[in-house]
Amino acid sequence: MRDITPVTVAPGDGIGPEIMDAVLYVMNAAGARLKVEEVPAGESVYKRGHPGGLDAAGWGSIRRTRVFLKGPITMPQGYGNKSLNVVARTTLGLFANVRPCVSYHPYVRTRHPRMDVVIIRENEEDLYAGIEHRQTDDVIQSVKLISRPGSERIVRYAFDFARSNHREKVTAFVKDNVMKMTDGLFLKIFYEIAADYPEIKADHMIVDIGAARLADQPERFDVIVTLNLYGDIVSDIAAQLTGSVGLAGSANIGETCAMFEAIHGSAPMIAGQGIANPSGLLMAAVMMLVHIGQGDIAARIHNAWLKTIEDGIHTADIYARGLGRVRAGTHAFAEAVVERLGQTPVTMPPVGYSTARPAYDGVNRLAPRVRAVKELVGVDVFLQWSGGLPDDLAELILPLSTEALTLVSISNRSQRVWPDGHADVFCTDHWRCRFLAQHGPVQHSAIVELLGRLAEAGIDFTQTENLSNFDGKAGFSTPGQ
């Protein structure tokens, strides 16, 4: 008997239980070799005091099976709760989000009949790390973290995906014209790794024009790799362009674990009516089956689903007169897929998948590290102050400079306001005072001395950022950048 794979399943909230029942029904009928461990997740678990949406038993099941098929989740509003998706991705090391977005012309209405794009999104870093602080009455900050290892892993995964799936081009979406250090690092790594895949075309776009062109001409893209926030936005745009976000599945891939889900929400307004489209979760289940080495079953289900769409059996969200023949409910649609198991589409191309379980060894392929020569050359001191104009603050702070560190600039919301500031700059109560060493690198004790002077003067500093050179190059932006 062939191996049976244990998987953790969470039906979720809203329409989740209905569409999960439909998906499990189809997989069982197709002969999927699964041992299902069902766990509660979502709203009821949040309300029992688990801020991540899963209890200890749920996490234990996922760590045991290493495969998680998740229905849509409703997260109660309020402080203390964390997105289950974000928590799962970071806790389980699910660094790659993979979202295929395909048009099913002429059976699902779309303006882009030749669209076939895969969005590969970094999952663990960027603003989604959720590192936020309220620093003053007026200002809250969110910290964007981009690392070399994190960028290397997602970029190499994108090129590996392109190679193994016979894709011809990988495009990076970045905003390196503004975020020159964070997005600039990502883009630098992108081209370093692209050199290892000479058969695959590599290019990049600024994310705003890239998203605009994706919305207008998606057929010009093949695989897109990007950072966490951009990927979240761009993948929903791409999914909607195919005709419905209800058709798109999503995989979250890590070194040892993987999570699979539809990209849509829990849709509580239609829950219990039996009209929800199970296709997004079914396509996620297909990706899961490929991941666990049951590509034969995945192809059997996917081809039956394509044939169902071809035959005009559509759920309400994609049904349109002249394209659909039968408006089917959730379970009736699943039954139609089961009836077509073993069949292949006639007009749309059939699919095929390997039965070899994909492997990823990205951690073992990170570039060797050579530590840079790091020199501490200054400090940015952020403070709360509402005492007047920038020149007034400079008059207060400048005498507090030390022999080692001298005030050289003051900025407000990144705009330099002293010296030579513009009078039209709108200022809040959040200021950045930059102190630089005047005679070469300094020690941490010089910063401690400076902060002591500020404290004695009653200055309310809220945060400091050390300023360092790496191999003689500044590792920090200048005010106004």
pLDDT for 31-70, tens place per residue? 999 999 999 999 999 989 898 899 999 999 999 999 999 9
Of 17-21, 131-135, 276-280, give the lowest mean pLDDT range: 131-135
What single-letter DSSP state applies at residue 324? Answer: B
Mean pLDDT of the chain: 93
- Residue scoring higher pLDDT (153 or 239): 153
The C-alpha atoms of residue 96 and residue 155 are separated, in whole angstroms, by 9
Q: Is a pLDDT exceeding 70 seen at residue 363? A: no
The C-alpha atoms of residue 26 and residue 40 are separated, in whole angstroms, by 21
Q: Is a pLDDT exceeding 50 seen at residue 426? A: yes
The mean pLDDT value for 292-301 works out to 96
CA quadruple 290, 259, 222, 157: dihedral, nearest 10: -90
Q: What is the pLDDT of residue 25?
A: 98
pTM of the model: 0.91
Peptide bond into 479 cis (omega under 30): no
Q: Residue with structure tokens 């649609």?
A: 333
Q: What is the pLDDT of residue 479?
A: 78
Q: What is the pLDDT of residue 386?
A: 94
Q: What percent of the chain has pLDDT over 70?
A: 98
Q: Which residues of 115-130 are buried (b: 16+ CB within 10 A; e: fewer)?
A: bebbbbbbbbbbebbe
Q: Is a pLDDT exceeding 90 seen at residue 475? A: yes
The C-alpha atoms of residue 154 and residue 157 are separated, in whole angstroms, by 5
Work out the angle between the directed axes of helices 295-310 and 16-30 (0-180°, nearest 10).
110
Q: What is the pLDDT of residue 369?
A: 81
pLDDT band at 129 (very low <50, low <70, confident <90, very high): confident
211: left (phi over 0), alpha (psi -120 to 50) or beta: alpha
The C-alpha atoms of residue 375 and residue 380 are separated, in whole angstroms, by 15
Q: Write out the H or E segment, with its range, that includes residue 271.
A: none
Q: Which residues contact 284 (CB under 8 A, 6 or more apart)?
A: 69, 249, 250, 251, 260, 261, 262
Q: Is a pLDDT exceeding 50 seen at residue 210? A: yes
Say if CB 397 and CB 391 are below 8 A apart: no
The mean pLDDT value for 74-102 works out to 85
Say if CB 305 and CB 358 are below 8 A apart: no
- Residue scoring higher pLDDT (151 or 76): 151
Q: What is the pLDDT of residue 190?
A: 98
Q: Would you state the structure tokens that stand for residue 355, as one six-digit string?
A: 């039965």
Q: Is a pLDDT exceeding 70 seen at residue 481? A: no
The C-alpha atoms of residue 127 and residue 134 are separated, in whole angstroms, by 15
Q: Write out the H or E segment, with its range, that includes residue 169.
A: strand 169-174
Q: Would you state the structure tokens that stand for residue 406, as one six-digit string?
A: 């001298």
Q: What is the pLDDT of residue 149?
A: 94
- Residue scoring higher pLDDT (301 or 481): 301
The mean pLDDT value for 148-155 works out to 95
Q: CA 254, 257, 263 angle in degrees (round to 5)? A: 75
Say if CB 430 and CB 138 are below 8 A apart: yes
The mean pLDDT value for 155-182 works out to 96
**Alpha-carbon torsion 277, 281, 287, 293, what sign?**
negative
The C-alpha atoms of residue 272 and residue 270 are separated, in whole angstroms, by 6
Phi/psi of residue 263, nearest 5 degrees: -90, -10
Q: Would you state the structure tokens that stand for residue 167, as one six-digit string?
A: 């894709």
CA-nearest of 479, 395, 477, 467 to 435 is: 467
Q: What is the DSSP string of 204-257?
A: EEEHHHHHHHHHH-GGG-SEEEE-HHHHHHHHHHHHHHTT-GGG-EEEEE-SS-
374: left (phi over 0), alpha (psi -120 to 50) or beta: beta
Q: Helix, strand or coil for residue 89?
A: helix
Peptide bond into 419 cis (omega under 30): yes
Say if CB 360 and CB 163 are below 8 A apart: no
Q: What is the pLDDT of residue 478?
A: 86
Q: Is a pLDDT exceeding 90 seen at residue 323? A: no
> In 316-419, where does DSSP find H-type helix?
330-339, 390-397
Q: What percent of the chain has pLDDT over 90?
A: 80
